[in-house]
Amino acid sequence: DTGVSQDPRHKITKRGQNVTFRCDPISEHNRLYWYRQTLGQGPEFLTYFQNEAQLEKSRLLSDRFSAERPKGSFSTLEIQRTEQGDSAMYLCASSGGSSPLHFGNGTRLTVT
């Protein structure tokens, strides 16, 4: 078990471009979470999957954000028409049963 992996680790993009991040959770975990974190703050919930079903999406999340988990394994998070305010660390976490969340090391997005 290699833990939760995220790709890429860093992404620099120009405002207006689309970006996509990938998360591979721990294989036996059925729950997958996406969070956003800015410097010195706790993670901010974005969305949550149980298997392939997206069960919850933050009301703070604009329509430019979309996430998928088509086969209940890996997940992608896409941000369309990026804005400078989207610059943050995007964290993925997974859990299963009563286990706590295990986090990946995140994708740091910088929008110029």
Partner 1 sequence: TQLLEQSPQFLSIQEGENLTVYCNSSSVFSSLQWYRQEPGEGPVLLVTVVTGGEVKKLKRLTFQFGDARKDSSLHITAAQPGDTGLYLCAGMDSNYQLIWGAGTKLIIKP
> Which spans of this chain sit near partner 1 (rule: CB under 8 A)?
4, 31, 33, 40-45, 48, 56, 91, 93, 95, 100-106, 108
Please, what is the minimum distance in Å from the beta carbon of residue 100 to partner 1? 5
Nearer Cβ to partner 1 (4/111): 4
Nearer Cβ to partner 1 (18/105): 105
Please, what is the minimum distance in Å from the beta carbon of residue 35 to partner 1? 8
Q: Compute the distance between CA of residue 67 and CA of residue 78 in angstroms, rounded to an integer.
A: 6
Please, what is the minimum distance in Å from the beta carbon of residue 61 to partner 1? 14
Please, what is the minimum distance in Å from the beta carbon of residue 91 to partner 1? 5
